[in-house]
Structures are given as C-alpha cells and as structure tokens.
Structure 1
Amino acid sequence: MFIREEGYARLKRSAVTKGRAHINLDGQKHWPTDRSGARGVSLPGGSIFAQNDAYLEMCNPGWDLQWRAGIGNLYVVLPALLIIWFWYGMTIHPLLFGQLIFFWHPTSEFDGGDLVFGWLLGFPLALGGAFLIYMWFYKMGMRTCFFTYARGRIRFNRHTRKVYVLRPAYCGGNVVLDWDRMVALFDPQSTDRWDKQSVAMLALYHPPFDPADPTAAGEDCLFVGPSISGPEDAAHLWEYIRQYMEIGPTVDHIPSDAPANYKGVARYLPPEYTTFCGKPDGPQYTLEQKPGFMETLFHMTSQVTCSWARFPSEWQSDSGMGEPEDRPVQTGAVMTAMVYRNKGKLSPEDDVEFLTRWGTEQALAEARGRVARLATERAGESV
C-alpha cells in the first residue's frame, strides 16, 4: 500500500506547495540528521526487513491496513460494476446485438421503452458507479494495493551514506537520496480529506537542491516504517535510524535492564522487530500482523496481484552484504531466515550461524551435530 506516497507525488506534480501542504511541511519542526529529537530509541514491531553492519532496510506504512482494499472492493467496486453492467445490458447491448440483458439473462423481448428506461435511470447511475470506482482507486489511493509492488523498501546504507527507495513510478519511483540532506518530520498529517487522519507515521523529507528553484528539483518525501501512535513514537523511530546511520550497531543484544534513554543499536535484532522480506503466505501474515476475522483473506486478495520489488544491481546498495532474500542470515533478515529455516531452505552452515545468533543452546548443539555428520559423510564419499 502506497497511499501517502501516491498522494504526495500526485499533489507535488500538481503544485509544489500542494505537496508540501500534504506533509504539513511548514506546520512542524524539522529534525536534521545531526539532531535527535528523542531521549531514547524504540522500534515498532514488524518494521525491519534486514539490519547488518552495512545497511538498515525498513518497510513503508500501510501493510497492516491493506486488507481494507480487498474488503472495500466488495462494497464499492462490485456494486458499482453491477450498476454499470445493468445500464449496458439495457441500452448498449440491445443496439449492438438486438438483445437485452437483464443482469445475466439475455432476451430478445424488448421495446423502445426499455431503452428509454435504461438511458434515463441507468445512465446516471452508471456514471455515478464509474465515478465511485475512479474515486476509490485514484482519489482514495486504492490502486496502490493492486498490480504494483507488494511493499515499499527503504534502505539506509551506512557505507555509502545514501538512502535507497523502491516504490511504484506513479508514487515517485525508485530513487537514491543523500542521507545527510534528510530532514525528519514527526507529524506529517495530510491535508487531503480522503486520507485517514488518525494514521500517524514518520516522514523523511529531502529538500530541493536549490531552494529558489520553482520546480523544486530533488525534493522528495519518504514515509518510513509501519503506522505508529503519534509524533512521540515517530521521534523515537527517527532516533533509532539516526543512531544506526551515525554510529552503527554497538552491542550484540540490548541488555534486559537497559534504561528508557538507552540509545544502543543491537547487532542482532529480536525476531518481533523484523518482517518477512517477500510476499508472505497466509499463516505468515497472520503470525506477524495478528489480524482480525477475515482480514487475512482480504489482504491476500490484494497481495496476490502484486510483485516483490528488488533493488537494481547497478545501485550496489547492499555494499557487498547481499540481498535479504538471498542471504537472510548474513544480512540480519531474522524473520526471513526463520521462514527459510522452517521450510528447510537454509544450508546446514547457515542454520548453525542462525542459531548462534538467535537460537537456544540445545538447538545450536543439534545443528552442529548435523553439520559434523554431514562432513563425515562427505569425507567418506570422497575416499
């Protein structure tokens, strides 16, 4: 789902001032990369695809709300299409084929009164249905949930000091931005009345290269992480990202007695802060999002039409670490590694490395035993 990205890009194309109003740029304090804005750090659950010494990769907002697009189609698109079909069957089809279609039953018994009725009553209703579909997919942004990227990917790279972004072309497209020019916005509430005002998030604003440029070349805005409760959570999330980029991981694991103002970034994140890097199946989505009744089904009706975005190889955005989809253990894609392990897709060596970082001592001992037995079998085969 890219509703906020689409809204910002669409308004910015219309007028630079409208795009800035969409993120409340002039109505809040700006936080550059050398200022924290929070005493401590915190991470929302299920927000990180991967974290390692080279890059931190995070999702964009809306994944937990994407099911609404699926259920909305039942109550918005389907009734509107039925109205349009009714109008077509009463007016256009008889003129083309000499038959009237009453919903799905074709019949040759019709007269001029049926055509008049279809045009006088059906045509205004069909126009209303078409307008409703347009508003649903374009003005309300639901087209960002179908036949596009399944999720947005924002990668913060410490080595290159760049931010790499994957998103649909009509939402601003893929882009590489300078980290040092980023500015955090904790309250990017939209002025667009079609947006959900109660959904808070962190926005990172990239100012234009030339403030006097009327076209605002280089200006952009990223929406980072999942939906959060308000500006305070946005400040803590920003501080986590900022600490990672400026200092990097400082400890292997966060101490259990860490104070509220602790700012250390863990090298090995607990699984609950990570999310699957790819298109999850129904059980995996349920595990991560804890959805309500039928939400998984409606989410899947949206996700099944989407594709998974991959970073262009020419960007070299992984700084040699590799991609989370290919090397989940080495890149710190914990949830992805757990899924691969459950499906038997990890090599024995990767299994040991995974359990060394995130497993129990018993599981690690068993994995090492399997590796030792495998090495013995290979040695025997080579003799």
Structure 2
Amino acid sequence: MQADGGKSLLKPAERVELSDAALPAGRCIYAQNETYLELCNSGWERQWKAGIGTVFVLLPCLLIFWGFYGFAVHPLLFDQLIAFFRVISYEPEMSPLLWMGWLLLFPLSLGCCVLLWLWFDIMGVGTCFFTYARGRIRFNRVTRKVYLLRPRGCGGNAVFDWDRLRAIVDMDGYDLLARKNGAPGKAAYYSLILYHPPFDAADPHAKGEDAIFVGPTLPMQHDAAPLWEYIRRYMEYGPGQEGIPERIGQEHTTYCGKPSSSQYKLEQRPGMMETAYHMLSQVTCSWPAFPKEWQSDSGIGEPEDKPVQTGAVMTALVYRAQGKLSKADEIEFLQHWGTAEAQQEAMTRKQ
C-alpha cells in the first residue's frame, strides 16, 4: 500500500485521518521551520549493537591472523617465530609449529576473512564505521524536493522530486519474514520507507529506482502511517496548518551533529555499556553536510549554524548549555521554547 507526495493512496478503510498525523515517540527531527523539515534515518538508536558485535567478531579474527603470521609467515621471512607476544629464534625442531600455522591457522584465517566480509558488507555493519555518523533527509517546501545525505555504500547522496515519492506504510509479508528469520517471540522493527520509482517503467535497469528509510526505528508497523501523514501535510500545508504544529517540542528533536556521550545518553537513555559501544562506532564517523550548490536550505540557513532560526530545538539547547548562543538568539529561543523566568533572566543578564 503506497501513497504519493500530493495525495493519499491508502485504502479507504485505512485512510489516515487528520487526528492521526503524528510524530512517533522518540527523537527524529533535526529541524522544522517554514521552509524545510529535516529528519534522521532509522537505526541510529541501535547502532551500539554494531559496536558490541564488531568487538566480538573483530578481536578473535585479529588474534587468528596474528597467530597465522607469527607461526607460519614470519619464520619463513625472518627465521624467527612469534609466539603471540614473544619472539624466538626458529629451530628445526619447531617445524610442528610451522605446520600447525599452515594447516590449522591458515584455513581459520581464510574463514575469518569470509566472516568479516559477511559482517561488514553483507550484513551492512560497515555502514556504521568510517562513514557518515547519521543520515539526513530534508523535505523542502519551497523547492518541492527531498534532499538526502547517506553513505556511498547505501546509495550515496541524492535529490528527489517530492511528487514522485511514494510512501510504503504497509509492508505485506514483513511480519512473516521477520518471524521466519528470527527467534520465536523476537521483536520485529519497522521504518517509514519512501520509494522512488524508476524514471522509465520499461527500463530493464530501473534507473532512478531508490528507497529512503525515514525517521526513527518503529516498534509497530502501523506507526509508519501517522509519520508519513505528518510529513505529507507539512509539505502540502506547512507549519501551523492541518494539525502540523508551528513549532515542535524538544521531545521530538535530536541533536544535529555528532553528540557527546552525555548528549547521546540524554536523548536515548541507554545503559552504560550501550553508550560506550555506540561511541566506539561513532568515533570513526564524520558528520555529513549538505552541498552548498544544492541550496537545500533555500537561504534560511543550516541547523548547525542557525539552530534557533531553523527550529533545531535540541541543537539550540546544546549550544545554549555550551554558551555558544548569542544573547539575541538565546532570548528568541526562550521566547518560543523557554519559561518566562528563563526569558527574563536572559534579558537582564549582561552579554
């Protein structure tokens, strides 16, 4: 079941009503203003699993590689044997160790290469390291385009015409597939998917076909429809109309940038080890920025540069705590999102 950019294509019995346009629980919005709505991609809140999994996959493989080199390769090159952390001269009576390296550790090393390929490439864990820290999806009402920043291995950066996108909000057979591939009782996770059809339906190569995973990971399949309806109404009517708030609350916003461990814990409230493993993944990544030639902000500015003006509430909160907001920006921020007491304090405080 799909819906297009300009109108709903949901089945009549399942049409999303006005009261059902809503953001899901959790933080998924970088910024919302009169010009654009920018959301994250799904999966970020579970990226710590990639960190912990990589530790338990990579360390044993590295140990086997080191053992193979020390027992099988190094003796042939330097007439020395490396017993893990000890270097000793190779003697003829040590030949069983050399044979052990080639007959046992060499096949294990090949198996480790296959395992690492499956883990980082086939299972997609490579998208969590040495790439973009998070994806960014910007819906621009002025240009009627959707701007996407994502790792090259996931398709790379792209720009889509809003009116050509279709929303997949009912994934028939997904539950069956999840139960088949998972353990009994294992929870399935969903996402709002925006589908871009090929430019030419008759093209055998389906040039232009693409899919965007928008917003947070959803626990229930039916949560995708209200999120889609929120985005659709934002694009068609704008903030302050048809159930779209003029300004979003901080509880729906996320920090636009690479967060510190304390910021990550504030937003996601994970356990101590989850935060550590998430940071292990994030420390290798960089923060993506929209190319200036795209003019995707239509002149209003970027959330990282103008968090108050762009409605990047969480980013503005972080900047205020760090003392990075100007007095004028802080007053404007508190007028919209702060208490009267905080606003008065900011107005009377010297620059």
Give TM-score scaled by structure 2 length: 0.91
Q: CA deviation at 1:292?
A: 2.0
Question: Partner residue of 1:38?
Answer: 16
Question: Partner residue of 1:99?
Answer: 80
Q: CA deviation at 1:52?
A: 0.2
* Partner amino acid, structure 2, of 1:32: D
Matches of 1:216 and 1:197, distance apart in 2: 33
Q: CA deviation at 1:231?
A: 2.1
Structure 1 residue runs of 4 or more that deviate by more than 4 Å after TM superposition = 187-197
Q: Pick from 121, 126, 149 the counterpart of residue 109 of structure 2.
A: 126
Q: Pick from 229, 236, 240 the counterpart of residue 219 of structure 2.
A: 229
The answer as to 2:153 corresponding to 1:181 is no
SS at match of 1:294: helix
SS at match of 2:137: strand
Q: Pick from 336, 342, 362 the counterpart of residue 315 of structure 2.
A: 336
Is the CA contact 1:91–1:118 (under 8 Å) kept in the aligned structure 2? yes
Q: CA deviation at 1:109?
A: 3.8
The answer as to 2:252 corresponding to 1:280 is no
Map Cα deviations across residues 125-153 of structure 1 (whole Å, 9 max, x no partner).
11111211111111111110111000000
Matches of 1:77 and 1:114, distance apart in 2: 24
Q: CA deviation at 1:272?
A: 0.7
Is the CA contact 1:139–1:194 (under 8 Å) kept in the aligned structure 2? no
The range that moved more, 44-53 or 121-130, is 121-130
Matches of 1:78 and 1:133, distance apart in 2: 11
Matches of 2:256 and 2:189, distance apart in 1: 23
Q: CA deviation at 1:294?
A: 0.7
Question: Partner residue of 2:193?
Answer: 203
Please show how residues 304-319 of structure 1 align to structure 2 within 5 Å: 304-319=283-298
Is the CA contact 2:79–2:90 (under 8 Å) kept in the aligned structure 1? no
Q: CA deviation at 1:197?
A: 7.9
Question: Partner residue of 1:324?
Answer: 303
Please show how residues 120-159 of structure 1 align to structure 2 within 5 Å: 120-159=103-142
Question: Partner residue of 1:26?
Answer: none
Matches of 1:194 and 1:299, distance apart in 2: 25
Matches of 1:92 and 1:149, distance apart in 2: 37
The range that moved more, 203-212 or 40-49, is 40-49
Map Cα deviations across residues 255-307 of structure 1 (whole Å, 9 max, x no partner).
xxxxxxxx511121110100000000000000000112310111001101100
Gaps of 5+ in 1: 1-28, 252-262, 375-383
Map Cα deviations across residues 211-253 of structure 1 (whole Å, 9 max, x no partner).
00111111111000010022210001000000100111116xx
Report how many aligned residue pairs link the two structures.
Answer: 333
* Partner amino acid, structure 1, of 2:119: W
Q: CA deviation at 1:55?
A: 0.1
Q: CA deviation at 1:112?
A: 2.4
Matches of 1:243 and 1:90, distance apart in 2: 65
Matches of 2:188 and 2:61, distance apart in 1: 28
Q: CA deviation at 1:187?
A: 4.2
Matches of 2:76 and 2:231, distance apart in 1: 63
Map Cα deviations across residues 35-65 of structure 1 (whole Å, 9 max, x no partner).
0642211212210000000000000011111
SS at match of 2:230: helix
The answer as to 2:63 corresponding to 1:82 is yes
Is the CA contact 1:187–1:201 (under 8 Å) kept in the aligned structure 2? no
Question: Partner residue of 2:152?
Answer: 169
Matches of 2:335 and 2:204, distance apart in 1: 54
Is the CA contact 2:127–2:153 (under 8 Å) kept in the aligned structure 1? no
* Partner amino acid, structure 2, of 1:38: V
* Partner amino acid, structure 2, of 1:369: T
Is the CA contact 2:71–2:82 (under 8 Å) kept in the aligned structure 1? yes
Is the CA contact 1:187–1:230 (under 8 Å) kept in the aligned structure 2? no
SS at match of 2:60: helix
* Partner amino acid, structure 1, of 2:131: T
